[in-house]
Amino acid sequence: METTKILHFRHPAQAEMLLEALVRERLQTGSHSRQVTERSELPSAVQRLVISAARDGKVWSAWGERSALRCYISEMIPARLAGEKCTALRVTAYDSRGRLAWQRIYALLNDGSWQAAAIRTSRGPDPVPWPAQD
């Protein structure tokens, strides 16, 4: 079984808590944004995304109003930062129409802060150097 699937299986509640903390501390810019907790309140395109994500063991968090919604879908991944194992989330953001906005990896540092990281693929490093800029 793939390592990331094992992480999802063991820690889905932890992944949800980490995503919630990341969104609140780093990704939400407006203090007036409200969290959408009921899937039925999401636009249909976003509902399809979160249903598919849940089948794959991923977690989601949505913020805003129907027309100005941002949905974050996340999964825990194994990562290393400065040679040390660390907790990391691969986060994919979608707009209210279900369109991809961006994808990033965020590492949780020992001091509790989040650091954006470049996404590396089997084709080689991403053109954005580590650490990535938000």
Model pLDDT for residues 43-71, shown as the tens digit of each residue: 999 999 999 999 999 999 999 876 789 99
Give the model's pLDDT for residue 54: 93
Burial class (CB in 10 A: 0-12, 13-18, 19+), 16: middle
Mean pLDDT calculated for residue range 82-103: 90
Mean pLDDT calculated for residue range 76-102: 88
Of the pLDDT bands very low, low, confident and very high (cuts 50, 70, 90), residue 83 is: confident
CA gyration radius, the chain: 15
What is the strand order of the sheet 35-36 is part of? Answer: 35-36, 59-63, 70-81, 84-95, 100-108, 114-117
Give the model's pLDDT for residue 77: 87
Q: Is pLDDT larger for residue 122 or for residue 45?
A: 45
Mean pLDDT calculated for residue range 5-30: 73
This prediction's pTM: 0.77
Q: Can you list the positions of beta strands (E) in 96-132?
A: 100-108, 114-117
- Share the mean pLDDT of the chain: 79
**Percent of the chain at pLDDT exceeding 90:** 43
Q: Is pLDDT larger for residue 7 or for residue 20?
A: 20
Of the pLDDT bands very low, low, confident and very high (cuts 50, 70, 90), residue 119 is: low
Which residue's entry shows tokens 């040679």? 83
**Percent of the chain at pLDDT exceeding 70:** 75
Give the model's pLDDT for residue 112: 85
- The CA distances from residue 126 to 56, 60, 61, 118, 123, in Å, are 25, 25, 26, 6, 9
**5: which 2 tokens?**
């699937």
